[in-house]
Every structure is written in C-alpha cells, then in structure tokens.
Structure 1
C-alpha cells in the first residue's frame, strides 16, 4: 500500500477514542442470565453498542445467539477471523480514574478494558474501517468477532460455533507479542481440610478473593480479635508481581499463641508451602520445560465453612507436563484430613509454528517493531483455546505484564496506536497478499 498507515492512524485517532469511550462507558461485567442476554445486561449492551458502531462504519454485522457479534468486510465462506471480547472483570477498588470511562493523563490511557480487551479489539475494528476507506479489496473476507464471556470461561464461543463456521485462521489480540502458539495447561484445585469440632467456631475470613487475581486484602476474626493484612494485587498468572494476602495472613495467624495448635499447624503449612514460592517449589511441583518455562502456582481464595477451611489454588503447568502428574503430587503434600477437588481444568494447547499465517504475523511484527518475532508460549488462557485455527497475537509488548486486572488498568497511547498499525498490516498480509 502506498498510504502511510501510521500517519493515517494519527490523523483519525480522536475519532477512534470517541467510539472506544462509548464502549468503555458500559459496565460489561458478567451478570445474571436473562432472556436475550445470556451473560447479563452489561455485556449485551456493550455488544449492541459495538454492532451499531460497526454498522455505521459500513460493515455487515450480526449477533449470534445473543452472545457473540461480528463485523465482516468482504464476501465469501472462508474467512480470516479476529476474535476479542467485550466483557471485563469487576472494577474493584483503588482507582485514580473513573473505571468505566476512557481517561488520559500524560500520554497514558486508563479504564477497565483499555488493555483487556476493549482497546485492542476496537483498534482492530477501527483499523479495518481505515483499510476499507483506503479502498483495499480483500481476496477473502475478514470478520472481527466480539465475544461477551471470555473472563468467565468462554462459554460464548460454543454458541457462536453452533451457528457459524469456524475461520480458516484467526488471531485474538488478548495476550502478548509476538505470536503465541502454545498455552499452558491450567488446573484449579480446592483443598478442603477438616478440623475438630469447635476449632473453627469463631474464625471468620473476609476479603476480595477471585481466581483472576492475587488477593491483596484480607481480614480474619478469631475470638473477637481482628487480623488485617494488606498485599499487592496482580493477575493470577503473574503472582511474582504481587504480594499474596493469604500467605501473609497465614504467617500472622501461625505465630499467634492464642490460636489452637491444630489451626496453627495448618497456617504454618500454608505459609511454608506457598509464601513467595510461585513455581511450586514449596510442595514439589517445580516442573518446567524449555518451551514454556516453570510451573506457576497461585493461592487465590481462603474461606471457612463449618469445620472446614477451603484453600483454592490456581496452577499453570508446562505443555510437557500432564495434569495427572500435578494432581498426584498434590495429594502427597496436603495436610491430613484433607480432600482435593478439581474445580477448573484446561488442557494445554499448541498450534504449528510453521503455519503460513503464523509466519505472516511474525513477519509483520518484526518489520514494524524491529523485534524478534519467533513464536512463543503463554501462561494465560485466551480464546485461542476454544476457537479453532486460532493463535494469540498482542497486545502487550515484551516486558509488559501484570496490568490487565488491576485498578488503574492502563495502556500507553503510543502502544495502543502501534497495535492498530500492527493489526492493520496483519490484515493486509492475511487477506490481501
């Protein structure tokens, strides 16, 4: 193309921000399932708003089973897909900016979803609009697909695939660069440890706990005495960037002489097994391989139910490790009178690194950034696990980690616009070569 894409983006960026803000103002957190809104009102409202924007851009639009929408440019059955999501995790506390609004300060953009994933997927839509206005003629259609349940298990994609054929190739702008060809296996466990009657009678543990992040604030009450601990939130797949309030609380309680021995021993086990031991080394789960690196382990929820303490942990294991190996080792190290239950499991995935479409994406990335475009693996879980013929591609650049689910979620303006440039060139390479 003779048009300078970078200059074109710069010229039109304010229009892009205006439309992006419309979407970011919608609190698209998963809610109760309703008629015509299977994942709640917020995600459906965001989907309808994006379909209106895409229609105004001149694209063919359609909503599938009230769960997934798409904007298509070009005609034909075999299409190239770009699949992202409009649902977001709850805002939480600690924001310096309105969480559900696009804010800008010192060349940095803020708001829930600016990185994960409204900013990147809307940059793909707006980039496609610019390409259409440039007069490109795709040899196969490109379809930008907007999901509404990625943060809660991706149960939206089966609803899409029940009515629509899969793409011949797709990427999701919801991970990191360069091309991500493999995703680790994920298994979450709840370890339920039983105690003698009345030992836990007065123990109460409260806090914002979720499998999505390292807990950063917990309060325990025992015999009318309160224990509060503060940590630092980070995504559950990057526990080394946070400070886990569970292990901090366990350390404090284990050293309190007023705590019964049975309970003190339990909290000592939690501290010794998991405190600053993010790679499973505290319980013999330090598996690793060359492609995907070390296993990652995150305790994310601690609750009391009757005579039982339940500890939930998230594990992301290397592609060469089997889930059964992890489970077998875990059984060897839990306290006595404990039961283990698997509450989430996703097998590892891998896509051929030598695929011709992967090579095109790698080449685009290298040409624009000057960085190494060799395909990599990830600890995260993206739509690529659930959508055929799909890899992850962006939006985070090397060294950028642990931003998505935090308060003051951000993306530097230059990075968002650079993403749009990369995605526009990627579309050209995939559907115009």
Structure 2
C-alpha cells in the first residue's frame, strides 16, 4: 500500500471520530469576551483552547499552551518544523432565528456541517490535527517535526500570533486551512480606520445611533433613535427612497422613535455579497435630518461621499488589480462615544487592498478626503498585503499536491480575506474549500461540505509530506 493509500485509509477509518471532535469544539462558544486573569480573550476561548489541546493529547501529540493566547500540538524531531495554523475563535452568530440549526450545534444536514466555525475555522483546523495523526501513523519513517498551531484571536486583532512569535521560532514552511484551494499566493492588505465628528447633543435630533460589532463583518442591523417630531418625515422619506435592498422598520418607543435598518451580513473581504444597513441608514438620515443639526455634516459625508459602493470610489481610493482582485471597503461599526470629554459619532471601516496601492497612499487619501468635509480621520490597524511568486517552492509544492489529489487544473488564487499567513513568515493559505463552494463564513448558516473536508485532510497530510522533502 502506498503512503497516500495508507493516509486515505486512516482518514476514512477515523472520519466519524474527526467529526465528533469538531462538533465538540464548535459547541463551545468562542467569541472574544472581556479579558480576565489567565484568559486574555475571555473564558470561552480559554475553555475552547484547553479542550482542543486535550484532543491533541488524546491523539498522542505533545501539547503546549502559551498562556491561553495560543496553543500547539506537535510530533517529530528536528530544529526546523513545518506548521499548520488555524484559529478557534469565531465572530458572533447573530440572530438565531435566521439559522436553520442551533449555530453552536455542529449539526450535519445533507452532508453539510452547519454551525458558526464549521468553515471558519474550527472544522478545518481540527481536521488538520487528525490529518497529521494520519500522517504519523501511516508513514512510520516520517520523522520531521510538525506543529499544528491553534490561535484564539484571528477575528479580533491577531494578538495571539504576535504573542506566539515573541515566544517561538517561525516555521520553515507553513500553511493555514483558512482560505481556499488551491494555494493562495496573494492576500490583500487589511487596513482599518474610522471617520468621526464631534457634535453637540443639545443641537441634534439624533439621540443614539449604533450598528455592527466587528469591523470585518458587514452587519445585519443598524438603528437610530430620533426625536418624536420626525416620525412623519421618516415615513415619508422611506417612501421616497423607493425600493432598496435594505428593509426599514419604524417603532415608537419611550416618547421617541426608533428606526431599524436591516441588511444582509457578509464577510468584509467580499462586502458586495451583503447589504450594508449602516450605509442605507445614513442615506435615509440625510433626507430626514435638517441642515442646522450638529450631526448633519457627518451624515452628509457618510451618505454622499462614502455612499453605498464597496469599491472606495467616493473616497478616491478605488484600485483595480486583475491578478489579485480590486480594493474593497466596508463600514462595520457605527456608534456614539465619549473621548477626552468630547462626544463623537464614529464609523469604523475595513479596507482590503491589492499590492498596487500602499499604506501610505491610503493614509494620505483618507485623511485628505476627511479634511475636505471637516471629518476627523482615525487610523487604526494595518496588515500589509501578502505575495508569493507562483514559482516559489512553497506554492509549487502545495499546488502539486492539489493537482495530484483532485485532478483539477485550478491555478493558484488571490484572496481578499486575511489569514495568519500575513503574520507568520513562510506561510500561505491552503484550503479548506474549492472556489465554487459558498460556505457563508461570518454569515447565517455557515457550513462546510464534509466530503470536501475529508479531501482537504488528504491534501494537508500529503502537503506536509511534500514540504518535508
């Protein structure tokens, strides 16, 4: 029996066990929470990491927990190691009523596992752990050191991998099953920033406004509390907007009115697949709020300059790239906050940009555009684009495995989504799904095709084998 046949046989025999352990980790809610002693990202993530490492121990791997920031399971020998990186943190699940199953059940229906984390990224990284067990058991002369790394902060800042690199050496080669098959040779840069404006609470008809919780998610809902005298005007302007892809609901509450705008959530790397309720709420407010309102300047800016497009054209940052994909922008959060005794309304944005623009260009353009409208620009986080030549050893070896296993001719791909590959040297994304599969990460009914998951396991095992040569 060949090495590949032995690996496939082991995966087949232990696949039900793999699925059960994926479900076990999915059933732990691992959304980032307030830091507590010993739990930098909350108790749910601490428990999730501990249980994941227990699975590694059960499979016979050496496990290490780096202060609940990140953990790993490893086997083999040598100074250098090959790594597989994934994350067990997830974004919030949203309205449970919009899911076909309990979002933390791991339920399998029609050969799909449907749950938050099934695709992004618990399913793939736990399956990779079992794929390494298959490699270890099926190829007994394989002695290279392999490490499966479990992050806990990929969705909210990547502090986990920064902590890892402060404690451990980077891998010789690595991949993360958090992108797409075949090999992801390029990832767009990620740039987050906010626009805001100070306003006088006594001189506005807006009592509160909020929408979204994560900058990397197109939110489902945005809402505003307005003074009651605007009730008729709101209803009139909703009618004047005509047919829109968003839905508005107007409620009378506590002597005021609440306007709720409902959109369609999506991942910020592909905001065009969703409908952003924040953008549409500002479109409505621009028709409703008077010119002497202290928040009007910001409302006009959001409605007329930012607009409803996702290509950045209103902010003069539109960038086209045929090889890696164009720039996209999404507004993920809007809220009122107090900073240094000033009251501000702020909107937080997430940009995914290709290699033919730059951090410096975005800094200058966004600041300049804000100044034109007397809006304050706040730069926040930045991760530079990732780019590996298609003929680099890491890309070529994994591409070979993909073609050998699938018999497909897909070429290496570029993605807008950001992965750990941006932070970890010598790393690309590889898997977990084919380009035609739409698993709806960050949305309702996130799912993973379990046959695709199994085929991915074969490629992870053979990929490590190939990278070790």
Q: TM-score when scaled to structure 2?
A: 0.85
Q: Evaluate the alpha carbon distance shift between residue 272 and residue 14 of structure 1 in structure 2; reply closer, same or farther with a 3 A threshold.
A: same
Verify: 1:250 aligned to 2:292, yes or no.
no
Could you tell me how far apart the structure 1 residues matched to 2:143 and 2:280 are?
57
Residue 70 of structure 1 corresponds to 72
Report the secondary structure of 1:192's partner residue: strand
Report the secondary structure of 2:267's partner residue: coil
Matches within 5 A, 1:286-297: 286-297=318-329
Is the Cα contact below 8 Å between 1:194 and 1:337 reproduced in 2? no
Q: 1:350 aligns with which of 387, 399, 402?
A: 387
Q: 2:187 aligns with which of 158, 183, 186?
A: 183
Report the secondary structure of 1:44's partner residue: helix
Residue 229 of structure 1 corresponds to 261
Residue 359 of structure 2 corresponds to 323
Is the Cα contact below 8 Å between 1:44 and 1:66 reproduced in 2? yes
Is the Cα contact below 8 Å between 1:81 and 1:145 reproduced in 2? yes
Higher mean displacement: 84-93 or 236-245: 84-93
RMSD: 2.3
Is the Cα contact below 8 Å between 2:210 and 2:336 reproduced in 1? no
Q: Evaluate the alpha carbon distance shift between residue 13 and residue 269 of structure 1 in structure 2; reply closer, same or farther with a 3 A threshold.
A: same
Structure 1 residues not aligned, in runs of 5+: none
Verify: 1:407 aligned to 2:444, yes or no.
yes
Alpha-carbon offset, residue 258 of structure 1? 6.1
Could you tell me how far apart the structure 1 residues matched to 2:171 and 2:444 are?
35
Alpha-carbon offset, residue 37 of structure 1? 2.4
Is the Cα contact below 8 Å between 1:65 and 1:159 reproduced in 2? no
Alpha-carbon offset, residue 242 of structure 1? 0.4
Verify: 1:279 aligned to 2:321, yes or no.
no
Alpha-carbon offset, residue 280 of structure 1? 1.0
Q: Deviations over 1:133-180 (max 9, x none)?
A: 224322421111112221121111232233322211111111122212
Report the secondary structure of 1:144's partner residue: strand
Residue 373 of structure 2 corresponds to 336
Residue 192 of structure 1 corresponds to 196
Q: Evaluate the alpha carbon distance shift between residue 343 and residue 63 of structure 1 in structure 2; reply closer, same or farther with a 3 A threshold.
A: same
Verify: 1:364 aligned to 2:401, yes or no.
yes
Is the Cα contact below 8 Å between 2:212 and 2:334 reproduced in 1? no
Alpha-carbon offset, residue 122 of structure 1? 0.7
Alpha-carbon offset, residue 97 of structure 1? 1.6
Alpha-carbon offset, residue 77 of structure 1? 1.4
Residue 234 of structure 2 corresponds to none
Residue 303 of structure 1 corresponds to 335
Could you tell me how far apart the structure 1 residues matched to 2:335 and 2:210 are?
8
Alpha-carbon offset, residue 260 of structure 1? 4.8
Q: 2:109 aligns with which of 105, 111, 114?
A: 105
Alpha-carbon offset, residue 415 of structure 1? 1.6
Is the Cα contact below 8 Å between 2:319 and 2:357 reproduced in 1? yes
Aligned residues: 432
Residue 453 of structure 2 corresponds to 416
Residue 463 of structure 2 corresponds to 426
Q: Evaluate the alpha carbon distance shift between residue 362 and residue 264 of structure 1 in structure 2; reply closer, same or farther with a 3 A threshold.
A: same
